[in-house]
Amino acid sequence: MEFNTAYETANTNSFSKYARRLKEPVREADAKGPEAILPPYFACGGVDDPWWERSKLLYAETCAAARETALPCYRVVCAVDSSVLDSLISELARPERIVLWASGLDEHNVEPAKLVAYRDAIVNAAAQGHAPFGLYGGFFSVLLGTFGLRGSSHGVGFSEHRAWEELPSAGAAPARYYLRRAHRYVMQDLAQQLHEASPDLTSCPCPHCNDRAPFELDYHELMKHSVWCRAEEIAVWAAMDTATAADALQNEFQALTIEINQAQGIAPATKKKARRSIEHLPRWVAALS
């Protein structure tokens, strides 16, 4: 609680770090305190997991300690697997704002069943009166807006998924290009090769690309491009009905497959990487359906 209420001056090194990344001044005086507090929590394997009882206790104790601050506390419901998330949510006694974390839910690589379990947990949470927010999420989480998900954390330097085990190290995100039509990051060299074979594969109307090739964007511009793409996705897809979204994803997958296969001047190994970079799209269609 002390860390949260004194955050404005807790670590001046953080301001210097972001000033270097932004290449502009970041004034410590502009720092603001938190709007809410996420109490400590544990990753749980179900309602019978003793760590679930400990998580509920930490939530209650944090809420009690926060009463003098007038800051709200939002419970984090963290499941070791998306298949047990619904049971944890269903055990909550009253409707509340909750933050969800299905450990290791890599939207691009997990099987559709895990995405369906996450989707159904959100549907049931909304039906029980909860206001669910995703602690991690990418484009698939944007699609879950019509199922009751209020939002999810994503942005520059913030992972779209993470496993509950503590990371041995962390750092800035690598230089990657957000492939707008595939709704995912790819390595910059792959994006460049796709662009050279067919500019339509990497077409982007954002002001940061400005009709330039992926290799022409520096690290900062790559990040701005990705943020612009996510904002566009939210504006276009967040309120789209499920059938329309599934059809659009299926059509994009088919169009990209044809364009990649017909692209000239790309080595077979590169085409294989390109096909792998879009193979999540039919899994998303299956999960939505």
Q: What integer is the mean pLDDT of 150-171?
A: 80
pLDDT (0 to 100) of residue 259: 95
DSSP letter assigned to residue 17: H
Residue 282 has pLDDT above 80, yes or no: yes
Choose the weakest-confidence range: 9-18, 146-155, 268-277: 9-18
Residue 9 has pLDDT above 60, yes or no: no
9 vs 66, higher pLDDT = 66
In angstroms, the CA 173 to CA 166 distance is: 17
pLDDT (0 to 100) of residue 157: 67
Residue 214 — pLDDT band, cuts 50, 70, 90?
A: very high
For residues 109 and 276, is the Cβ–Cβ distance under 8 A? no
Choose the weakest-confidence range: 21-35, 63-77, 150-164: 21-35
Catalogue the long-range contacts made by 197-200 (C-beta closer than 8 Å, 24 or more residues apart).
Answer: 197/263, 197/264, 197/265, 197/266, 198/259, 198/263, 200/259
DSSP letter assigned to residue 35: S
Q: What integer is the mean pLDDT of 235-242?
A: 92
Q: Within 10 A of 186 (CB to CB), how many other CB atoms are there?
A: 21
Residue 26 has pLDDT above 70, yes or no: yes
pLDDT (0 to 100) of residue 115: 98
The letter for the amino acid at 274 is A
pLDDT (0 to 100) of residue 172: 65
pLDDT tens track for 71-128: 899 999 999 999 999 999 999 999 999 999 999 999 999 999 999 999 999 999 999 9
Choose the weakest-confidence range: 3-7, 23-27, 215-219: 3-7
Residue 10 has pLDDT above 60, yes or no: no
